[in-house]
Structure 1
Protein backbone atom coordinates (compact mmCIF):
# COMPACT_ATOMS: atom_id res chain seq x y z
CA UNK A 1 0.00 0.00 0.00
CA UNK A 2 0.98 3.62 -0.44
CA UNK A 3 3.02 3.29 -3.65
CA UNK A 4 1.76 6.69 -4.87
CA UNK A 5 0.94 8.13 -1.43
CA UNK A 6 0.40 11.89 -1.52
CA UNK A 7 0.47 12.15 -5.31
CA UNK A 8 -2.23 13.66 -7.53
CA UNK A 9 -3.24 11.96 -10.78
CA UNK A 10 -5.10 13.46 -13.74
CA UNK A 11 -6.92 10.75 -15.71
CA UNK A 12 -8.91 11.09 -18.94
CA UNK A 13 -11.65 8.66 -19.95
CA UNK A 14 -12.14 7.96 -16.26
CA UNK A 15 -15.88 7.29 -16.14
CA UNK A 16 -15.60 3.55 -16.79
CA UNK A 17 -13.41 0.82 -18.23
CA UNK A 18 -9.65 1.20 -18.02
CA UNK A 19 -9.86 4.83 -16.89
CA UNK A 20 -12.05 4.01 -13.91
CA UNK A 21 -9.80 1.09 -13.04
CA UNK A 22 -6.72 3.33 -13.15
CA UNK A 23 -8.42 5.91 -10.91
CA UNK A 24 -9.42 3.33 -8.31
CA UNK A 25 -6.09 1.49 -8.38
CA UNK A 26 -4.07 4.70 -7.95
CA UNK A 27 -6.42 5.83 -5.18
CA UNK A 28 -5.99 2.49 -3.40
CA UNK A 29 -2.27 3.25 -3.34
CA UNK A 30 -2.66 6.77 -1.95
CA UNK A 31 -3.29 9.17 -4.85
CA UNK A 32 -5.93 11.85 -5.11
CA UNK A 33 -7.65 11.93 -8.50
CA UNK A 34 -8.71 14.47 -11.12
CA UNK A 35 -11.08 12.48 -13.34
CA UNK A 36 -12.52 13.67 -16.64
CA UNK A 37 -14.75 12.08 -19.25
CA UNK A 38 -16.90 13.25 -22.16
CA UNK A 39 -19.98 11.45 -20.76
CA UNK A 40 -21.88 11.53 -24.04
CA UNK A 41 -21.83 9.66 -27.34
CA UNK A 42 -19.87 10.43 -30.51
CA UNK A 43 -22.00 9.61 -33.54
CA UNK A 44 -19.43 7.59 -35.49
CA UNK A 45 -18.68 5.40 -32.46
CA UNK A 46 -21.17 2.55 -32.70
CA UNK A 47 -21.22 1.50 -29.04
CA UNK A 48 -22.52 3.84 -26.28
CA UNK A 49 -19.94 5.88 -24.43
CA UNK A 50 -19.99 6.66 -20.72
CA UNK A 51 -22.70 8.71 -19.05
CA UNK A 52 -22.57 11.24 -16.18
CA UNK A 53 -23.72 8.55 -13.76
CA UNK A 54 -20.69 6.46 -14.71
CA UNK A 55 -18.37 9.30 -13.73
CA UNK A 56 -20.26 9.64 -10.45
CA UNK A 57 -19.70 5.94 -9.81
CA UNK A 58 -15.98 6.39 -10.38
CA UNK A 59 -16.05 9.17 -7.81
CA UNK A 60 -17.88 6.94 -5.35
CA UNK A 61 -15.36 4.13 -5.79
CA UNK A 62 -12.39 6.46 -5.34
CA UNK A 63 -13.89 8.03 -2.24
CA UNK A 64 -14.52 4.54 -0.84
CA UNK A 65 -10.73 4.11 -0.72
CA UNK A 66 -10.45 7.17 1.51
CA UNK A 67 -8.93 9.40 -1.18
CA UNK A 68 -10.30 12.59 -2.69
CA UNK A 69 -11.50 13.14 -6.24
CA UNK A 70 -12.46 16.05 -8.49
CA UNK A 71 -14.53 15.21 -11.58
CA UNK A 72 -15.35 17.12 -14.75
CA UNK A 73 -17.34 16.34 -17.87
CA UNK A 74 -14.87 17.51 -20.49
CA UNK A 75 -13.91 16.82 -24.11
CA UNK A 76 -10.27 15.86 -24.65
CA UNK A 77 -10.49 17.35 -28.15
CA UNK A 78 -10.68 20.79 -26.51
CA UNK A 79 -7.46 21.76 -24.73
CA UNK A 80 -9.23 24.62 -22.92
CA UNK A 81 -11.51 22.07 -21.28
CA UNK A 82 -8.50 20.01 -20.20
CA UNK A 83 -6.86 23.09 -18.71
CA UNK A 84 -10.06 24.01 -16.87
CA UNK A 85 -10.34 20.52 -15.36
CA UNK A 86 -6.71 20.60 -14.24
CA UNK A 87 -7.19 24.06 -12.73
CA UNK A 88 -10.15 22.70 -10.78
CA UNK A 89 -7.97 19.88 -9.48
CA UNK A 90 -5.12 22.23 -8.62
CA UNK A 91 -7.48 24.39 -6.60
CA UNK A 92 -8.47 21.32 -4.59
CA UNK A 93 -5.13 19.53 -4.31
CA UNK A 94 -2.46 22.14 -5.00
CA UNK A 95 -0.28 20.11 -7.35
CA UNK A 96 -0.14 17.53 -10.14
CA UNK A 97 2.20 14.53 -10.26
CA UNK A 98 0.72 11.95 -12.64
CA UNK A 99 -0.99 12.23 -16.03
CA UNK A 100 -2.81 9.21 -17.49
CA UNK A 101 -3.90 10.06 -21.04
CA UNK A 102 -6.35 7.22 -21.44
CA UNK A 103 -9.49 8.47 -23.23
CA UNK A 104 -10.19 6.56 -26.43
CA UNK A 105 -12.88 5.48 -28.88
CA UNK A 106 -13.09 2.82 -31.61
CA UNK A 107 -15.38 4.04 -34.42
CA UNK A 108 -15.13 0.89 -36.52
CA UNK A 109 -17.64 -0.13 -39.20
CA UNK A 110 -18.76 3.45 -39.67
CA UNK A 111 -18.57 3.22 -43.45
CA UNK A 112 -16.25 5.08 -45.83
CA UNK A 113 -17.17 8.55 -44.55
CA UNK A 114 -13.98 10.12 -43.16
CA UNK A 115 -15.70 11.45 -40.03
CA UNK A 116 -14.79 8.27 -38.16
CA UNK A 117 -11.12 8.91 -38.98
CA UNK A 118 -11.38 12.51 -37.82
CA UNK A 119 -13.10 11.51 -34.59
CA UNK A 120 -10.66 8.78 -33.60
CA UNK A 121 -7.60 10.89 -34.42
CA UNK A 122 -9.19 13.77 -32.50
CA UNK A 123 -9.89 11.73 -29.37
CA UNK A 124 -7.16 9.09 -29.27
CA UNK A 125 -4.23 11.14 -30.58
CA UNK A 126 -4.94 14.85 -30.27
CA UNK A 127 -6.94 14.25 -27.09
CA UNK A 128 -3.96 12.59 -25.45
CA UNK A 129 -1.70 15.44 -26.52
CA UNK A 130 -4.19 18.03 -25.25
CA UNK A 131 -4.36 16.37 -21.84
CA UNK A 132 -0.60 16.13 -21.60
CA UNK A 133 0.11 19.63 -22.91
CA UNK A 134 -2.45 21.16 -20.54
CA UNK A 135 -0.70 19.39 -17.66
CA UNK A 136 2.92 20.09 -18.60
CA UNK A 137 3.18 23.60 -17.07
CA UNK A 138 2.22 22.10 -13.70
CA UNK A 139 4.58 19.11 -13.68
CA UNK A 140 7.89 19.11 -11.82
CA UNK A 141 10.76 16.68 -11.29
CA UNK A 142 9.49 13.21 -10.45
CA UNK A 143 6.25 13.55 -12.40
CA UNK A 144 5.06 10.69 -14.59
CA UNK A 145 3.11 10.78 -17.87
CA UNK A 146 1.45 7.56 -19.04
CA UNK A 147 -0.44 7.22 -22.32
CA UNK A 148 -2.71 4.35 -23.33
CA UNK A 149 -1.52 2.74 -26.52
CA UNK A 150 -2.65 -0.59 -27.99
CA UNK A 151 -1.22 -3.70 -29.55
CA UNK A 152 -2.77 -2.18 -32.68
CA UNK A 153 0.26 0.11 -32.72
CA UNK A 154 2.38 -2.88 -33.73
CA UNK A 155 0.04 -4.17 -36.45
CA UNK A 156 0.31 -3.66 -40.18
CA UNK A 157 -2.56 -1.37 -41.05
CA UNK A 158 -2.44 -2.12 -44.76
CA UNK A 159 -3.53 -5.75 -44.59
CA UNK A 160 -7.21 -5.24 -45.37
CA UNK A 161 -9.34 -6.54 -48.18
CA UNK A 162 -10.98 -3.18 -48.93
CA UNK A 163 -8.64 -0.27 -48.21
CA UNK A 164 -10.62 2.83 -47.27
CA UNK A 165 -13.76 0.90 -46.34
CA UNK A 166 -13.35 1.50 -42.60
CA UNK A 167 -11.53 4.81 -41.96
CA UNK A 168 -12.49 4.78 -38.28
CA UNK A 169 -10.87 1.40 -37.70
CA UNK A 170 -7.77 2.35 -39.70
CA UNK A 171 -7.55 5.67 -37.86
CA UNK A 172 -7.51 3.87 -34.52
CA UNK A 173 -4.34 2.03 -35.50
CA UNK A 174 -2.74 5.20 -36.87
CA UNK A 175 -3.56 7.10 -33.67
CA UNK A 176 -1.95 4.42 -31.49
CA UNK A 177 1.14 4.27 -33.71
CA UNK A 178 1.53 8.03 -33.50
CA UNK A 179 0.98 8.11 -29.72
CA UNK A 180 3.84 5.64 -29.38
CA UNK A 181 6.23 7.85 -31.35
CA UNK A 182 5.00 11.05 -29.68
CA UNK A 183 5.60 9.71 -26.16
CA UNK A 184 9.01 8.34 -27.21
CA UNK A 185 10.12 11.81 -28.29
CA UNK A 186 8.38 13.58 -25.41
CA UNK A 187 10.29 11.39 -22.98
CA UNK A 188 13.53 12.48 -24.62
CA UNK A 189 12.62 16.17 -24.30
CA UNK A 190 11.44 15.93 -20.68
CA UNK A 191 14.24 13.73 -19.38
CA UNK A 192 16.45 16.70 -18.48
CA UNK A 193 13.65 17.90 -16.18
CA UNK A 194 13.40 14.47 -14.52
CA UNK A 195 9.85 14.07 -15.85
CA UNK A 196 9.07 10.63 -17.27
CA UNK A 197 6.80 9.57 -20.14
CA UNK A 198 5.81 6.03 -21.08
CA UNK A 199 3.16 4.13 -23.04
CA UNK A 200 1.16 1.11 -21.87
CA UNK A 201 -0.07 -1.11 -24.70
CA UNK A 202 -3.02 -3.36 -23.78
CA UNK A 203 -4.25 -6.17 -25.96
CA UNK A 204 -8.00 -6.94 -26.00
CA UNK A 205 -9.29 -5.57 -22.69
CA UNK A 206 -12.58 -6.49 -21.03
CA UNK A 207 -14.34 -3.14 -21.43
CA UNK A 208 -17.34 -1.76 -23.33
CA UNK A 209 -15.10 -1.09 -26.33
CA UNK A 210 -14.39 -4.80 -26.74
CA UNK A 211 -17.79 -6.01 -25.58
CA UNK A 212 -19.70 -4.37 -28.43
CA UNK A 213 -21.63 -5.55 -31.47
CA UNK A 214 -19.25 -3.80 -33.87
CA UNK A 215 -16.22 -5.52 -32.32
CA UNK A 216 -17.93 -8.90 -32.48
CA UNK A 217 -18.52 -8.25 -36.19
CA UNK A 218 -14.86 -7.38 -36.77
CA UNK A 219 -13.70 -10.62 -35.16
CA UNK A 220 -16.44 -12.77 -36.72
CA UNK A 221 -17.14 -11.27 -40.16
CA UNK A 222 -18.42 -14.68 -41.29
CA UNK A 223 -21.57 -14.25 -39.16
CA UNK A 224 -24.39 -11.79 -39.76
CA UNK A 225 -25.11 -10.94 -36.11
CA UNK A 226 -22.35 -12.45 -33.96
CA UNK A 227 -22.64 -12.50 -30.18
CA UNK A 228 -20.02 -12.42 -27.44
CA UNK A 229 -20.00 -16.21 -27.37
CA UNK A 230 -19.44 -16.29 -31.13
CA UNK A 231 -16.53 -13.82 -30.90
CA UNK A 232 -14.87 -15.02 -27.69
CA UNK A 233 -12.80 -17.69 -29.40
CA UNK A 234 -11.71 -15.25 -32.10
CA UNK A 235 -10.64 -12.75 -29.42
CA UNK A 236 -8.18 -15.35 -28.19
CA UNK A 237 -6.43 -15.60 -31.54
CA UNK A 238 -4.74 -12.25 -30.89
CA UNK A 239 -2.80 -13.38 -27.77
CA UNK A 240 -0.03 -15.97 -27.48
CA UNK A 241 -1.34 -16.93 -24.04
CA UNK A 242 -4.64 -18.84 -24.28
CA UNK A 243 -6.95 -16.05 -23.07
CA UNK A 244 -9.53 -13.90 -24.90
CA UNK A 245 -8.67 -10.66 -23.11
CA UNK A 246 -6.97 -9.03 -20.13
CA UNK A 247 -8.88 -7.26 -17.36
CA UNK A 248 -8.67 -3.47 -16.80
CA UNK A 249 -6.84 -4.01 -13.49
CA UNK A 250 -4.04 -5.82 -15.35
CA UNK A 251 -3.39 -2.60 -17.24
CA UNK A 252 -3.89 -0.51 -14.09
CA UNK A 253 -1.13 -2.42 -12.31
CA UNK A 254 1.28 -1.41 -15.08
CA UNK A 255 0.06 2.19 -14.84
CA UNK A 256 0.58 2.11 -11.08
CA UNK A 257 4.16 0.90 -11.48
CA UNK A 258 4.99 3.61 -14.03
CA UNK A 259 3.36 6.26 -11.84
CA UNK A 260 5.25 5.19 -8.73
CA UNK A 261 8.77 6.01 -7.60
CA UNK A 262 9.63 2.36 -8.25
CA UNK A 263 9.87 3.42 -11.90
CA UNK A 264 11.73 6.66 -11.20
CA UNK A 265 14.30 5.96 -13.93
CA UNK A 266 11.93 4.29 -16.38
CA UNK A 267 11.11 6.57 -19.30
CA UNK A 268 10.48 6.28 -23.02
CA UNK A 269 9.29 2.69 -22.71
CA UNK A 270 6.55 0.90 -24.63
CA UNK A 271 5.17 -1.44 -21.96
CA UNK A 272 3.02 -4.22 -23.38
CA UNK A 273 0.24 -5.79 -21.30
CA UNK A 274 -0.72 -8.11 -24.12
CA UNK A 275 -0.47 -11.76 -23.02
CA UNK A 276 2.20 -12.24 -25.67
CA UNK A 277 0.18 -10.66 -28.46
CA UNK A 278 3.18 -8.78 -29.83
CA UNK A 279 5.25 -11.95 -29.84
CA UNK A 280 2.54 -13.74 -31.77
CA UNK A 281 2.24 -10.93 -34.31
CA UNK A 282 6.00 -10.88 -34.81
CA UNK A 283 6.02 -14.59 -35.60
CA UNK A 284 3.68 -13.91 -38.52
CA UNK A 285 6.21 -11.57 -40.13
CA UNK A 286 9.42 -13.58 -39.75
Structure 2
Protein backbone atom coordinates (compact mmCIF):
# COMPACT_ATOMS: atom_id res chain seq x y z
CA UNK A 1 0.00 0.00 0.00
CA UNK A 2 1.32 3.39 -0.98
CA UNK A 3 0.89 6.55 1.04
CA UNK A 4 -1.00 8.17 -1.85
CA UNK A 5 -3.06 5.21 -3.08
CA UNK A 6 -6.38 6.21 -4.67
CA UNK A 7 -5.25 9.81 -5.09
CA UNK A 8 -4.91 11.82 -8.28
CA UNK A 9 -2.11 14.37 -8.59
CA UNK A 10 -1.78 17.08 -11.24
CA UNK A 11 1.67 18.42 -12.09
CA UNK A 12 2.50 21.27 -14.48
CA UNK A 13 5.89 21.57 -16.12
CA UNK A 14 5.83 17.78 -15.99
CA UNK A 15 7.89 16.85 -19.03
CA UNK A 16 11.35 17.05 -17.46
CA UNK A 17 13.38 18.40 -14.54
CA UNK A 18 11.59 18.98 -11.26
CA UNK A 19 8.18 18.28 -12.78
CA UNK A 20 9.20 14.84 -14.00
CA UNK A 21 10.80 14.07 -10.65
CA UNK A 22 7.60 15.05 -8.85
CA UNK A 23 5.48 12.88 -11.16
CA UNK A 24 7.65 9.83 -10.56
CA UNK A 25 7.79 10.35 -6.79
CA UNK A 26 4.02 10.82 -6.58
CA UNK A 27 3.45 7.70 -8.69
CA UNK A 28 5.85 5.67 -6.57
CA UNK A 29 3.73 6.61 -3.55
CA UNK A 30 0.59 5.37 -5.33
CA UNK A 31 -0.92 8.42 -7.04
CA UNK A 32 -2.22 8.54 -10.60
CA UNK A 33 -0.91 11.54 -12.53
CA UNK A 34 -2.30 14.27 -14.76
CA UNK A 35 0.87 15.62 -16.39
CA UNK A 36 0.79 18.96 -18.22
CA UNK A 37 3.57 20.75 -20.09
CA UNK A 38 3.74 23.38 -22.83
CA UNK A 39 5.94 21.06 -24.94
CA UNK A 40 7.09 24.03 -27.03
CA UNK A 41 9.60 26.85 -26.87
CA UNK A 42 8.82 30.45 -25.90
CA UNK A 43 10.62 32.88 -28.20
CA UNK A 44 11.85 35.22 -25.45
CA UNK A 45 13.30 32.43 -23.28
CA UNK A 46 16.95 31.75 -24.20
CA UNK A 47 17.03 27.96 -23.80
CA UNK A 48 14.98 25.10 -25.24
CA UNK A 49 11.91 24.10 -23.28
CA UNK A 50 10.58 20.57 -23.00
CA UNK A 51 9.26 18.57 -25.96
CA UNK A 52 6.43 16.11 -26.49
CA UNK A 53 9.07 13.39 -26.43
CA UNK A 54 10.14 14.57 -22.97
CA UNK A 55 6.54 14.34 -21.77
CA UNK A 56 6.24 10.86 -23.23
CA UNK A 57 9.33 9.83 -21.25
CA UNK A 58 7.71 11.11 -18.06
CA UNK A 59 4.68 8.98 -18.92
CA UNK A 60 6.90 5.94 -19.42
CA UNK A 61 8.60 6.42 -16.07
CA UNK A 62 5.27 6.80 -14.27
CA UNK A 63 3.89 3.69 -15.98
CA UNK A 64 6.96 1.79 -14.77
CA UNK A 65 5.76 2.54 -11.23
CA UNK A 66 2.48 0.82 -12.04
CA UNK A 67 0.36 3.97 -12.00
CA UNK A 68 -1.91 5.55 -14.59
CA UNK A 69 -0.95 8.82 -16.25
CA UNK A 70 -2.73 11.19 -18.63
CA UNK A 71 -0.52 13.68 -20.47
CA UNK A 72 -1.49 16.97 -22.08
CA UNK A 73 0.38 19.63 -24.03
CA UNK A 74 -1.06 22.88 -22.69
CA UNK A 75 0.26 26.36 -21.92
CA UNK A 76 -0.40 27.38 -18.32
CA UNK A 77 -0.66 30.99 -19.50
CA UNK A 78 -3.96 30.09 -21.20
CA UNK A 79 -6.71 29.32 -18.68
CA UNK A 80 -9.10 27.85 -21.25
CA UNK A 81 -6.47 25.42 -22.55
CA UNK A 82 -5.52 24.42 -19.03
CA UNK A 83 -9.15 23.92 -18.02
CA UNK A 84 -9.70 21.67 -21.04
CA UNK A 85 -6.68 19.53 -20.11
CA UNK A 86 -7.80 19.32 -16.49
CA UNK A 87 -11.31 18.32 -17.53
CA UNK A 88 -10.00 15.57 -19.80
CA UNK A 89 -7.63 14.34 -17.09
CA UNK A 90 -10.40 14.19 -14.52
CA UNK A 91 -12.52 12.26 -17.00
CA UNK A 92 -9.78 9.66 -17.36
CA UNK A 93 -8.48 9.40 -13.79
CA UNK A 94 -11.03 10.96 -11.44
CA UNK A 95 -11.21 14.06 -9.28
CA UNK A 96 -7.99 15.70 -8.11
CA UNK A 97 -6.42 15.50 -4.64
CA UNK A 98 -2.97 17.03 -5.16
CA UNK A 99 -1.72 19.89 -7.33
CA UNK A 100 1.92 20.79 -7.95
CA UNK A 101 2.07 24.05 -9.92
CA UNK A 102 5.65 23.65 -11.07
CA UNK A 103 5.77 25.23 -14.56
CA UNK A 104 8.28 28.07 -14.70
CA UNK A 105 10.87 29.81 -16.85
CA UNK A 106 13.86 32.09 -16.37
CA UNK A 107 15.88 34.20 -18.81
CA UNK A 108 19.29 34.81 -17.29
CA UNK A 109 21.56 36.55 -19.77
CA UNK A 110 18.77 38.61 -21.31
CA UNK A 111 20.08 41.93 -20.00
CA UNK A 112 17.78 44.51 -21.60
CA UNK A 113 16.15 46.50 -18.77
CA UNK A 114 13.14 47.38 -20.99
CA UNK A 115 12.39 44.02 -22.59
CA UNK A 116 8.63 43.98 -22.15
CA UNK A 117 8.16 40.62 -23.85
CA UNK A 118 10.54 38.68 -21.63
CA UNK A 119 9.07 40.33 -18.53
CA UNK A 120 5.56 39.42 -19.65
CA UNK A 121 6.42 35.83 -20.59
CA UNK A 122 8.18 35.12 -17.29
CA UNK A 123 5.48 36.64 -15.09
CA UNK A 124 2.66 35.09 -17.10
CA UNK A 125 4.25 31.62 -16.95
CA UNK A 126 5.48 31.64 -13.37
CA UNK A 127 2.75 33.61 -11.58
CA UNK A 128 -0.26 33.89 -13.85
CA UNK A 129 0.24 30.21 -14.74
CA UNK A 130 0.12 29.19 -11.08
CA UNK A 131 -3.08 31.17 -10.55
CA UNK A 132 -4.57 29.55 -13.67
CA UNK A 133 -3.59 26.14 -12.30
CA UNK A 134 -5.32 26.84 -9.00
CA UNK A 135 -8.40 28.19 -10.76
CA UNK A 136 -8.60 25.12 -13.01
CA UNK A 137 -8.10 22.49 -10.30
CA UNK A 138 -9.60 23.67 -7.01
CA UNK A 139 -13.22 23.03 -8.13
CA UNK A 140 -12.30 19.36 -8.59
CA UNK A 141 -10.71 19.09 -5.15
CA UNK A 142 -13.79 20.70 -3.60
CA UNK A 143 -16.12 18.35 -5.49
CA UNK A 144 -14.22 15.34 -4.18
CA UNK A 145 -14.88 16.59 -0.68
CA UNK A 146 -11.93 15.08 1.17
CA UNK A 147 -9.54 18.03 1.18
CA UNK A 148 -6.28 18.24 -0.69
CA UNK A 149 -2.85 19.79 -1.02
CA UNK A 150 -1.50 22.41 -3.42
CA UNK A 151 2.22 23.14 -3.74
CA UNK A 152 3.49 26.09 -5.78
CA UNK A 153 7.11 26.02 -6.95
CA UNK A 154 8.71 29.34 -6.08
CA UNK A 155 12.47 29.89 -5.69
CA UNK A 156 15.03 31.36 -3.35
CA UNK A 157 14.39 34.42 -5.51
CA UNK A 158 10.91 34.44 -3.98
CA UNK A 159 12.52 35.08 -0.58
CA UNK A 160 15.41 37.40 -1.45
CA UNK A 161 16.32 40.08 -3.98
CA UNK A 162 20.01 39.17 -4.17
CA UNK A 163 21.36 39.02 -7.68
CA UNK A 164 19.19 41.77 -9.10
CA UNK A 165 20.95 43.25 -12.14
CA UNK A 166 18.37 45.73 -13.39
CA UNK A 167 17.30 43.55 -16.29
CA UNK A 168 13.65 42.97 -17.10
CA UNK A 169 14.36 39.23 -17.01
CA UNK A 170 15.70 39.12 -13.45
CA UNK A 171 13.13 41.62 -12.20
CA UNK A 172 10.37 39.48 -13.70
CA UNK A 173 11.71 36.28 -12.16
CA UNK A 174 12.06 37.76 -8.67
CA UNK A 175 8.69 39.51 -8.87
CA UNK A 176 6.90 36.39 -10.09
CA UNK A 177 8.48 34.14 -7.48
CA UNK A 178 7.72 36.63 -4.68
CA UNK A 179 4.20 36.89 -6.06
CA UNK A 180 3.73 33.17 -5.61
CA UNK A 181 4.12 33.60 -1.86
CA UNK A 182 1.27 36.10 -1.78
CA UNK A 183 -0.83 33.86 -3.99
CA UNK A 184 -0.10 30.89 -1.73
CA UNK A 185 -0.99 32.72 1.48
CA UNK A 186 -4.19 34.08 -0.01
CA UNK A 187 -5.19 30.65 -1.32
CA UNK A 188 -4.34 29.02 2.02
CA UNK A 189 -6.85 31.36 3.65
CA UNK A 190 -9.44 31.01 0.90
CA UNK A 191 -9.55 27.20 0.83
CA UNK A 192 -8.89 26.27 4.46
CA UNK A 193 -12.60 25.69 5.04
CA UNK A 194 -12.41 22.99 2.36
CA UNK A 195 -9.41 21.39 4.12
CA UNK A 196 -7.19 22.32 1.19
CA UNK A 197 -3.64 23.11 2.25
CA UNK A 198 -1.50 25.47 0.14
CA UNK A 199 2.27 25.90 0.47
CA UNK A 200 5.29 26.99 -1.56
CA UNK A 201 8.70 25.38 -2.01
CA UNK A 202 11.75 27.57 -2.63
CA UNK A 203 14.65 25.74 -4.27
CA UNK A 204 18.09 27.14 -4.85
CA UNK A 205 19.53 26.23 -8.24
CA UNK A 206 18.40 22.76 -9.29
CA UNK A 207 20.28 20.47 -11.70
CA UNK A 208 17.70 20.64 -14.50
CA UNK A 209 17.73 21.93 -18.08
CA UNK A 210 16.71 25.35 -16.75
CA UNK A 211 20.30 25.88 -15.56
CA UNK A 212 22.19 23.06 -17.29
CA UNK A 213 21.99 24.39 -20.84
CA UNK A 214 24.17 26.04 -23.48
CA UNK A 215 23.05 29.56 -22.57
CA UNK A 216 24.05 29.11 -18.92
CA UNK A 217 27.32 27.41 -19.90
CA UNK A 218 28.17 30.39 -22.09
CA UNK A 219 27.37 32.85 -19.30
CA UNK A 220 29.55 30.87 -16.89
CA UNK A 221 32.44 30.84 -19.37
CA UNK A 222 32.12 34.59 -19.81
CA UNK A 223 31.99 35.18 -16.04
CA UNK A 224 28.50 36.68 -16.24
CA UNK A 225 26.78 34.52 -13.61
CA UNK A 226 25.98 36.41 -10.42
CA UNK A 227 27.56 34.74 -7.40
CA UNK A 228 25.16 36.74 -5.25
CA UNK A 229 22.25 34.96 -6.88
CA UNK A 230 23.80 31.50 -7.09
CA UNK A 231 25.66 31.16 -3.76
CA UNK A 232 24.67 28.45 -1.27
CA UNK A 233 25.74 28.19 2.36
CA UNK A 234 26.31 24.42 2.18
CA UNK A 235 29.17 23.42 -0.16
CA UNK A 236 27.08 22.36 -3.15
CA UNK A 237 26.56 24.27 -6.41
CA UNK A 238 22.96 23.14 -6.70
CA UNK A 239 20.49 20.56 -5.47
CA UNK A 240 18.95 17.67 -7.40
CA UNK A 241 15.30 17.49 -8.57
CA UNK A 242 14.75 14.63 -6.15
CA UNK A 243 15.69 16.91 -3.24
CA UNK A 244 12.82 19.21 -4.14
CA UNK A 245 10.51 16.23 -4.71
CA UNK A 246 11.25 15.03 -1.17
CA UNK A 247 9.96 18.35 0.19
CA UNK A 248 6.91 18.25 -2.09
CA UNK A 249 6.12 14.70 -1.01
CA UNK A 250 6.22 15.71 2.65
CA UNK A 251 3.95 18.70 2.05
CA UNK A 252 1.32 16.64 0.21
CA UNK A 253 1.40 13.78 2.71
CA UNK A 254 -0.53 13.25 5.92
CA UNK A 255 2.73 13.92 7.77
CA UNK A 256 2.11 17.59 6.94
CA UNK A 257 -1.67 17.50 7.41
CA UNK A 258 -1.62 20.67 9.52
CA UNK A 259 0.97 22.53 7.44
CA UNK A 260 -0.51 25.31 5.31
CA UNK A 261 0.52 28.82 4.35
CA UNK A 262 4.22 27.93 4.65
CA UNK A 263 7.14 28.97 2.43
CA UNK A 264 9.59 26.04 2.64
CA UNK A 265 13.17 26.59 1.40
CA UNK A 266 15.07 23.71 -0.21
CA UNK A 267 18.09 25.90 -0.66
CA UNK A 268 21.29 24.55 0.91
CA UNK A 269 21.18 27.58 3.18
CA UNK A 270 21.09 30.13 0.36
CA UNK A 271 18.61 32.51 1.99
CA UNK A 272 20.33 32.24 5.39
CA UNK A 273 23.44 34.01 4.12
Q: Under a length normalisation based on structure 1, what TM-score does the superposition of the two structures give?
A: 0.88
User: Take 1:211 and 1:220, find their aligned partners in 2: how far apart are those partners?
Assistant: 13
Which position in structure 2 is the counterpart of 1:185?
186
Question: CA 1:61/1:235 → structure 2, altered by over 3 Å: closer, same or farther?
Answer: farther
Question: More displaced, 210-219 or 62-71?
Answer: 210-219
Structure 2 residue matching 1:100: 3-state secondary structure? strand
Does the CA-based 8 Å contact 1:4-1:259 persist in structure 2? no
User: Take 1:235 and 1:206, find their aligned partners in 2: how far apart are those partners?
Assistant: 18
Which position in structure 1 is the counterpart of 2:97?
97
Instruction: For 1:202-281, list aligned pairs within 5 A.
Output: 202-216=203-217, 222=223, 238-280=231-273
**Among candidates 93, 117, 129, match of residue 127 of structure 1:** 129
Pairwise CA distance, 1:202: 0.5
Pairwise CA distance, 1:39: 0.5
Deviations 1:68-117 (A, max 9, x none): 00000000001111111111111112210001000001123333421000
Pairwise CA distance, 1:169: 2.0
Which position in structure 2 is the counterpart of 1:156?
161
Structure 1 residue matching 2:5: 3-state secondary structure? coil
Pairwise CA distance, 1:222: 3.2
Question: CA 1:95/1:116 → structure 2, altered by over 3 Å: closer, same or farther?
Answer: same
Which position in structure 1 is the counterpart of 2:74?
74
For structure 2, the 5+ residue unaligned runs are none
Pairwise CA distance, 1:5: 1.5
User: Take 2:109 and 2:259, find their aligned partners in 1: how far apart are those partners?
Assistant: 38
Structure 1 residue matching 2:75: 3-state secondary structure? coil
User: Take 1:44 and 1:6, find their aligned partners in 2: how far apart are those partners?
Assistant: 40
User: Take 2:239 and 2:178, find their aligned partners in 1: how far apart are those partners?
Assistant: 21
Structure 2 residue matching 1:267: 3-state secondary structure? coil
User: Take 1:180 and 1:207, find their aligned partners in 2: how far apart are those partners?
Assistant: 23
Question: CA 1:135/1:254 → structure 2, altered by over 3 Å: closer, same or farther?
Answer: same
Question: CA 1:220/1:18 → structure 2, altered by over 3 Å: closer, same or farther?
Answer: same
Pairwise CA distance, 1:261: 1.6
Which position in structure 2 is the counterpart of 1:86?
86
Does the CA-based 8 Å contact 1:196-1:267 persist in structure 2? yes
Question: More displaced, 236-245 or 13-22?
Answer: 236-245
Which position in structure 2 is the counterpart of 1:6?
6
Does the CA-based 8 Å contact 1:36-1:71 persist in structure 2? yes
Pairwise CA distance, 1:180: 0.8
Which position in structure 1 is the counterpart of 2:148?
143
Does the CA-based 8 Å contact 1:219-1:235 persist in structure 2? no
Structure 1 residue matching 2:46: 3-state secondary structure? coil
Question: CA 1:126/1:236 → structure 2, altered by over 3 Å: closer, same or farther?
Answer: closer
What is the root-mean-square deviation in Å for CA atoms of aligned residues? 2.0
Q: Under a length normalisation based on structure 2, what TM-score does the superposition of the two structures give?
A: 0.93
Question: CA 1:235/1:15 → structure 2, altered by over 3 Å: closer, same or farther?
Answer: farther
User: Take 1:253 and 1:217, find their aligned partners in 2: how far apart are those partners?
Assistant: 31
Deviations 1:24-74 (A, max 9, x none): 000000000000100110011111000100000000000000000000000
